[in-house]
Amino acid sequence: MKVAKFFMFILILIFTQSPKISSNLQADENAIKDKDITEAVYRQLLLDEAVPSYLIDIETKEGVVTLSGSVNNILAKERALTVAGSVRGVRSKIDRLEVKPKKRSDEQIRKDVIKALKTDPATELMEVNAKVNKGVVTLIGRVESYAERNLCAEVAKGVKGVTDLKNEVEVNYKHERPDEDIKNDIKRRLDFDVWIDSPVSVDVKNGEVTLEGSVVSEFAKQRVKSKSWVAGVKSVDAESLEIKWWMRNEMERKKRYSNLSDEDIKSAVQDAFKYDPRILPFTIEANVDNGVLIITGDVSNLKAKYAAEENAKNTIGVWRVINRIRVRPKAYIRELSVSMEKDREATIAIENALSRDPYIDSYDITVYVHNSKARLYGTVDSQFEKYHTEDIVSRVKGVAEIENYIKYHKKWKQKDDLEIKQDIRDELFWSPFVDSDEIKIDVEDGTATLKGTVGTWFEFNKAQENAFEGGARWVKNNLKVEFGPIYYLPL
């Protein structure tokens, strides 16, 4: 009798609690364990050469990642936070990282920030000044767009000794814009951004933007918010954007690729150029043929050429960019004596720019400039630092071309094929940009072969990056690309 009552009690318990059990199971299907997220963030930071992962502590609670510890510059701090936000399952980030740079006086930092703003070809004419208190830089002044405001912050953060930045630069729009124009502008920017893979609802009232919908990662959420700062916007509210990484396939907009015309792609690229202060002053022509984009025109600095190509690659429908833009510095004169003097000025400007940078200042980099072409020599610790040096030099007036001969210590951890395969599988899983279920991996003698089908060329390239991050010495990318200019299988 007691046994019968016991089983009756169990049955009642099961039936009365079943909705709760079912609900929990449903939630668990889409949940990723916090300890697994922590491990994934750690792995990604470890792979990033710009971040001192060994100085960073990671804690995750209900998908919210807290980064604590220290870095030696503000760029490394922001990069660490971006990397964390790019891991699948991360819902938000808490920043407890301290910036502990080499000791410099506030006056030294202030002078370098102002000099950086006045020598950068994209910010030199902007009415922006700086104050510094205990390494914290406050920017003040007026600009004409949020893109210009953000660019000033980017330039200032590139100065060694900066521990934090307060951007108090005011944005004064030239004209008021109707809410409907702002809304259409934002939707168009979001629709053609390769990093944003889901539809987002946009509402605008009196210049105040509200965003709703679902995105696949915390990184995508921040990207949506950033892209929404178009001309006329007073504020952006993205609190209602939910992160649902498990709904990636349902939210994907791959089919948009098959409906795009070359004219649509061209128009989107030209719109992207209008919102980049580095490109805006110049006339850049874009011509598209079956997804292949050719950009032409003249710019006054090399960074503008690089920025135009980056904007083009971030546009949906573009699968290849041919960059024919010419760099023609304002003081471009063929007379030998004048040319030599300009080369000397460019050399000094490069050396000063490198000495201000928190990553490169400690390295012995030799610079030769001849006929506006800069040649770089020296040794750094990583591939990131090699190309970061090139990026710095591209911003210097008077540089039309760069030959980068800087060497770095290439790091490759010896792994067996099985270990590489598993690590690649992990990289693909944790990436919010790749549908790992559709990819098959084979590894032989350190060479990884990827097979299967991906939706876009963006996903194709991201999968290849993941394979290298997983430890492959070489990658044969045989993935089919479903939505693009053609259904393509590489040889």
Average pLDDT score over residue span 336-359: 87
Closest by CA position to 144, among listed 167, 176, 117, 174: 174
Q: Are residues 266 and 300 in the same domain?
A: yes
Average pLDDT score over residue span 420-433: 93
List of residues 6+ apart from 2 with CB closer than 8 A: none
Q: What is the secondary structure of 262-293 as a DSSP string?
A: HHHHHHHHHHHHHT-TTTTTS-EEEEEETTEE
Q: Are residues 292 and 347 in the same domain?
A: no
Furthest-apart CA pair in the chain: how many Å? 110
The CATH number linked to 433 is 3.30.1340
Q: Does residue 12 fall inside a structural domain? A: no
Q: Does residue 6 fall inside a structural domain? A: no
Q: Does residue 78 fall inside a structural domain? A: yes
Q: Are residues 344 and 403 in the same domain?
A: yes
Q: Helix, strand, coil % (nearest 5) of the chain? A: 40, 25, 30
Give the single-character DSSP code of 315.
Answer: B
Domain that holds residue 113: 106-171
Q: Are residues 52 and 84 in the same domain?
A: yes
Q: Are residues 396 and 348 in the same domain?
A: yes
- pLDDT of 489 reads 44
Average pLDDT score over residue span 274-284: 94
Q: Does residue 490 fall inside a structural domain? A: no
Give the confidence band of 127 by pLDDT, cuts at 50, 70, 90: very high
Question: What is the chain's mean pLDDT, rounded?
Answer: 88
pLDDT score of 11 more than 50: no
Q: Are residues 427 and 474 in the same domain?
A: yes
- Give the H/E segment covering residue 27: helix 2-29
Q: Between vectors from CA 298 to CA 294 and to CA 299, what angle results, nearest 5°? A: 110
Closest by CA position to 434, among listed 251, 248, 291, 253: 248
The CATH number linked to 280 is 3.30.1340.30
The residue among 327, 350, 378 that closes a domain is: 327
Amino acid at 430: W
Q: If you search the block for the tokens 């099985």, which residue do you land on?
A: 418
pTM of the full predicted structure?
0.86
- pLDDT of 436 reads 83
Q: Does residue 48 fall inside a structural domain? A: yes
- Give the H/E segment covering residue 454: strand 447-454
Burial class (CB in 10 A: 0-12, 13-18, 19+), 106: middle
Q: Are residues 268 and 312 in the same domain?
A: yes
More confident residue, 217 or 5: 217
Q: Are residues 388 and 340 in the same domain?
A: yes
Tell me the pLDDT tens digit for each residue of 168-178.
999 999 888 99
Q: Are residues 267 and 246 in the same domain?
A: no
Q: Does residue 320 fall inside a structural domain? A: yes
The residue among 327, 354, 379 that closes a domain is: 327
The residue among 209, 231, 251 that closes a domain is: 251
Q: Are residues 263 and 318 in the same domain?
A: yes
Q: Between vectors from CA 426 to CA 425 and to CA 429, what angle results, nearest 5°? A: 85
Tell me the pLDDT tens digit for each residue of 360-388.
998 999 999 999 999 999 999 999 999 99
Q: Does residue 429 fall inside a structural domain? A: yes
Q: Are residues 342 and 399 in the same domain?
A: yes
Q: Is 152 helix (H, G, I), strand (E, B) or coil?
A: helix
Number of domains in the chain: 6
Q: Are residues 152 and 198 in the same domain?
A: no
Average pLDDT score over residue span 132-145: 96
Q: Does residue 9 fall inside a structural domain? A: no
Closest by CA position to 439, among listed 450, 430, 448: 450
